[in-house]
Amino acid sequence: MAYTEVEVDLLPEELKKAKTNLIGILIFMLIFFAFIKFFFWDNLLSDIDEMIPIIMFGGFFLLFLAVLGYIMRGFILDFFKRKKQILTGTITDKHIDITTSHSSRGGVRGSSGSKTTTRRTYYLYFDNKKLPVDAIIYGRMSVGMEVEIHYSKYSQTVFHSRVIAEAEISEDKIKAIVPDVDKQQNFIPKERELQMAKADFELLKKARNRAIKNRIWVVVVLGWVVIGSLFSGLWLIPIMLFPFTIWWFLAFRKIVKYILAYRKEVNTGMKVVYSELVLDKFRQTGNTRGFFIRTNNQLISVNESNYEQLKMGDLIMVFKGKATGWVFGFMTSDNELYEVKSDAKLKMK
């Protein structure tokens, strides 16, 4: 169904939430201004004779003030306009943006450290409508669901959300993934083994190559330092770079394991085929980009064309190697074999 939006008045409890948000941001601003006044202005800037540091600080302060003002604007309008939007419709797509940043900081006595910050932003799509939500709503709602969301168009605050109807899945498709039961009431997975074809081996090889691609750079670069030093008679260098020597050895060992695992799969020549239902899907941007479908059993990385093609409730045939368990491909109703974009994983022992 196409989504609809109507504007209504805030309920008393929603108005209270808008007031709480506004008070919270005002308190934060007061604390920030007090910090600037007593720490920077009175103690530091008053002792600076040159104008350049003051101008730089002023520019940073104005930039921060502009961002804070933009955030405040939404909460102020929430409180004074006292309006919200009620969006009703079917979720057509989901999107998560994951951005990881690294920063260095100085420590006491010349020591230093690094800090990693990960920021996640979640969105639901209703046709061309893009709505930011929190992680709880994002995780609870799936593509294909008919939902109702009450939110502010000013601050993007979500006041209320509920699922009206789940995505429809036929009983025949559900039966296809439900395991059989033997006489002792034990579940028997609906899997079967088939002989691998040439296309299967090609996809397996791609999965292996993706897994070892980054490790090859480690082996080549560090190998030039470690192995090159040994052959040159510079024995002290590998000892001095002991952590990097261990890193090189582990990366080289992992590459060998992947090559041997692939060879074992080739010698076995068998694949395991089973059915899974597509229950959700989402696209990811940021430091890592990709398209993912969530089935009743696992998360599968696919290419964009397959992502657009697959719908909730679709039944797919998943292929994995018998010897390694690598999930390398899947087949849809068009009987075409498609590649799984995930890296191969070694079995834990």
Task: Using DSSP bridges, classify how beta strands 270-286 and 93-106 pair: parallel, antiparallel or unpaired.
Answer: parallel
* CB-based contact 338:306 (threshold 8 Å): yes
| Interval 184-215: pLDDT, tens | 555 556 788 999 999 999 999 998 888 888 78
pTM exceeds cut of 0.85: no
Tokens of 262: 């692939």
pLDDT for the residue numbered 245: 75
pLDDT for the residue numbered 263: 92
Domains of the chain in start order, with CATH, are 4-165 (no CATH), 198-339 (2.40.50.140)
Tokens of 197: 């074809």
pLDDT for the residue numbered 290: 92
Q: How many residues are present in the chain?
A: 349
Rounded to whole angstroms, the Cα distance separating 85 from 107 reads 48
Rounded to whole angstroms, the Cα distance separating 163 from 149 reads 9
Q: Which of 335, 318, 336 is nearest to 327 (CA)?
A: 318
| Interval 44-103: pLDDT, tens | 555 556 666 666 766 777 787 777 777 788 888 888 889 999 999 999 999 999 988 776
Q: How far apart are the first and last CA of the chain?
A: 49
Residue ranges in the chain whose pLDDT is less than 50: 108, 110, 349
Residue 270 vs residues 192, 319, 323, 326, 330: alpha-carbon distances, Å? 10, 10, 8, 12, 15
Rounded to whole angstroms, the Cα distance separating 203 from 305 reads 17
* CB-based contact 328:300 (threshold 8 Å): no
Tokens of 112: 């230093």
pLDDT for the residue numbered 300: 92
